Amino acid sequence: MKVAVVTGASSGIGRATAERLGRDGWRVVLVARRADRLEELASQLEDARALALDVTADDAPARLREAVGEEGALHLLVNNAGSAWRSAFAEGGAENVRRTMELNFDSVVRITEALMPLLRESAPSSVVNVSSAMGRLAFAKQGAYSASKFAMAGWTEALHLEERRNGVHVGLVLPGFVATEGFPQANLTRRRLTRWAVSSPEKVAAAIVAAGPGGKAERYVPRPYRVAAIVRTLFPGLWRRFL
């Protein structure tokens, strides 16, 4: 039996990932704050368990470690939980950076630390960290979010190199705009020129599978975002003028 943990599983990318893994025959431990959503999703999957949990809570890593320990193995950890609070630094200040980092980066590090022994014991296994295209590209009024996703990208790359000797593959997924129930991205999807920039949770879920069990180190969704990241790296002055 293959066991996966998916955080942020109650909606959007997390839900689509849980559904994809369920169809592929995985037993899925669903993690999010909204217990009702998790229970509803678990009832629809062939083999799933709901665990209502705030990943930023002090006891979250220990509680998740205990729950997964009861499964007897862990073959895939998908760190997907995250959020953004749009604000210029002059308005949101250090507090906005702190709360964004706490959810999008710190909680990922703490949960991965707690579950890594199980992943090593179950090797070959995988970790997939869901970053963002904004983990390579920064925009005004999204500094806190970009900081958290840049941090995740750098940390993931180091972890990829460190854990491969232990049989734990660590992959990174960098989605661009994703149309979800909370963020339909209607202003982009209604225009032919920008429609390409919006992806679906299902496409991101497919990239997560490719970056986890599929063994890929990195996936952009949609893939043209990779071109923007390359341009930003090679021609930073040109990129800033473009913005």
As annotated, the active-site residues are 145
In angstroms, rounded to a whole number, what is the distance separating the alpha carbons of residues 192 and 173?
A: 25
In angstroms, rounded to a whole number, what is the distance separating the alpha carbons of residues 80 and 82?
A: 6
Contact yes or no for 107/56 (Cβ under 8 A): yes
Q: Compute the chain's Rg from CA coordinates.
A: 18
Residue 204, amino acid: V
In angstroms, rounded to a whole number, what is the distance separating the alpha carbons of residues 133 and 226?
A: 8
Return phi, psi of residue 64, to 5°.
-70, -40
Three-state SS for 87-140 is CCHHHHHHHHHHHHHHHHHHHHHHHHHHHHHHHHHCCCEEEEEECCHHHCCCCC
